Amino acid sequence: MNKIILQFGLLVFFFSIIYFAQKGFELEKVLLNSFAVFIIITVMLSLMTIGLIKAINKNTSEKYNHYTDELAGNNNE
């Protein structure tokens, strides 16, 4: 999953280089802006992925506990 996020971040990095270069910025400003976009996109996607995985794990754990209780005959409803 991390490899996919990193590769997507690199894709955005190179697209942002093209975008800022076409705007006519200096080379240093193009690279700095593109690097900032890369860092922001990569961190945001990583945090969203961590949140999604935690939500899936929590949901799976709750379902597992519910089914285990049903099989054991412990219905607390």
Q: Is residue 59 part of a domain?
A: yes
Alpha helices by DSSP H, listed for the chain, are 2-22, 27-72
Q: Is residue 77 part of a domain?
A: no
Boundaries of domain holding 67: 2-72
| Banded pLDDT at 12 (limits 50, 70, 90) | very high
Residue 59, pLDDT score: 79
74: which 2 tokens?
A: 């412990």
| Banded pLDDT at 77 (limits 50, 70, 90) | low
Give 33-70 pLDDT, tens digit per residue. 999 999 999 999 999 999 999 988 887 877 777 777 67
Residue 65, pLDDT score: 75
Domain tally for the chain?
1
